[in-house]
Amino acid sequence: MTLKSLTILAATGLFLAACATPVEPEPVAAPEWHLAIHGGAGVILRETMTPEEEAAYTAGLNEALAAGAAVLREGGSAVDAVQAAVIPMENNPLFNAGYGAVFAANGTHELDASIMDGRDRDAGAVAGVMRVKNPILAARAVMDNSEHVMFAGPGADQFADAQGLEMVVNTYFDTDRRRQALDRLLESREGKPLAALRTDEERFGTVGAVAIDSAGNLAAATTTGGMTAKAAGRVGDAPLIGAATYAENGVCAVSATGHGEYFIRVGVAKTICDRVKFEDESVGVAAAVALGEVADLGGDGGVIVIDGAGNVDFVFNSPGMYRGEISASGSSTAIFREPAAGDE
Ligand code: GLY
C-alpha cells in the first residue's frame, strides 16, 4: 500500500469517525419576519412638500405596513403579506397604482402588476388591465389559478372577472390631480417629445413590497399605473418578472420603482438576485450595481431588497423614495434621501 493510499484511508477513517460521533445540532434561530414597502421614487424634496402632504404619505405607508405585518405576525406567508401591503396603496389616491393612477394619453388608465413567491418561484402578472379594482389580486389569481404567468389587456380583465375579483369602470381610477397632470403635459407638448416634458411624478410612481416570513420564505409584489400620457398599450417593468419583481428563497426578493423602459433593459430585479446568488454580494451592493447600469443607460429610480436572512435595503438614485419597513422589532418610514455622514 502506498503512502498516498494510506493517507487517504486514514483521512477517510477520520472522516467516518467524525461522522459517527454524535454532534449536538447548532440551535437554529427562527427567522424573524420582515416587510419592506415602497410607494414610488423620484424628485421628492422636503422643500417642495407641505407638512400635511408628508403626513398623508406617511400615514399611507404606515397603513400598508400594518396590513402586511398583520399577516406576518400571525405566521402568515410572505406572499400573502406582500399582497396585503400593496392593496392599501392601490386604494390610496396618493400612490400611482389603482385608484389615483395616472392617465394614459388617451384619457384612460392601464394598470400593471406582478407577484412572485420565492418558495417555488411561482409568479403571476397582469399588464394593461382597465377594470379590475386591485391589479395585484389579478396577478395573484394568475399565479394561483392558471397555468400561465402573465395575462395582458382585455383577456386579463376577463380572467380577473371570471375569478370573482371586484371589477370597476375605468373612470373609478380618475382623480383631479392626475387629470390636471395629463392636461398640463398634453398642453405643453407643442410637438416636443413627451419624455422631455414629464416631471418625475408623471414619469414615476409604482408601489411594491418585499417580505420574509417566519418560515424564511421570500416574496415580492409590484403594481403601477405607469407614466402619465403613456401611449395606449405601453407596458412598463412592473408586470415583468425579473425587471421590477423577483423572489427566490435563500437569495433575495426585489420590487422596483423607476423609469420602466430602463429597468426592463437591465432586468433589474433578476440582475440583483443573480449577483447575490452567484457573486455572493449583499443585496445592497447588488442593487447599487444594477441601478448603476440603469443610470448608465439614462434611467433612474429605486428598489427595495431583502435577502434570505431578512436583511432589508432601500437603494435609489433619485432624490427621494416613499418607503418603510416593519418587523417584530419595530417599524419606520422615510420619504427623502437621508444625508450621508459628513454631508453638510
Ligand atoms: N416603473 C413603472 C413603469 O415604468 O411603468
Non-local CB neighbours of 261 within 8 Å, separated by 6+ positions: 236, 237, 299
Residue nearest to atom 4 of ligand 1 (CA): 260
Pocket test for ligand 1, best of 102, 206, 235 (most atoms within 8 A of CB): 206
Could you give the CA distance from residue 256 to residue 190 in angstroms, rounded to a whole number? 32
Confidence (pLDDT) at 9? 37
Confidence (pLDDT) at 30? 65
Confidence (pLDDT) at 2? 43
Annotated active-site residue in 2, 7, 199, 206: 206
Atom of ligand 1 nearest to the CA of 224: 2
Based on the residue annotation, tell me whether 171 is a catalytic residue of this protein: no
Cα end-to-end distance, the chain, whole Å: 73
Confidence (pLDDT) at 26? 67
Confidence (pLDDT) at 31? 74
CB half-sphere exposure, 83, CA atoms < 13 A: 23
How close is the Cα of 258 to the center of ligand 1, in Å? 6
Confidence (pLDDT) at 44? 80
H-run or E-run covering 100: none
Atom of ligand 1 nearest to the CA of 259: 4
Taking a C-beta distance cutoff of 8 angstroms, is the pair 41, 337 a contact? no
Binned average pLDDT, 10 residues per bin, the chain of 344 residues:
41 42 63 94 83 96 98 98 98 97 96 98 98 98 98 98 98 96 83 66 82 98 95 96 98 96 97 98 98 95 97 93 96 87 50
Provide the grid cell at 210: 418585499
Taking a C-beta distance cutoff of 8 angstroms, is the pair 176, 2 a contact? no
Could you give the CA distance from residue 156 to residue 149 in angstroms, rounded to a whole number? 11
Atom of ligand 1 nearest to the CA of 227: 5
Which residues approach ligand 1 with their CB closer than 6 A? Answer: 206, 224, 226-227, 236-238, 257-260
How close is the Cα of 191 to the center of ligand 1, in Å? 24
Could you give the CA distance from residue 139 to residue 149 in angstroms, rounded to a whole number? 8
Q: What is the DSSP string of 174-212?
A: --HHHHHHHHHHHHT-TTS-HHHH--HHHH--EEEEEEE
H-run or E-run covering 62: helix 51-73
- CA-to-CA dists, residue 254 to 5, 86, 99, 194, angstroms: 50, 14, 24, 29
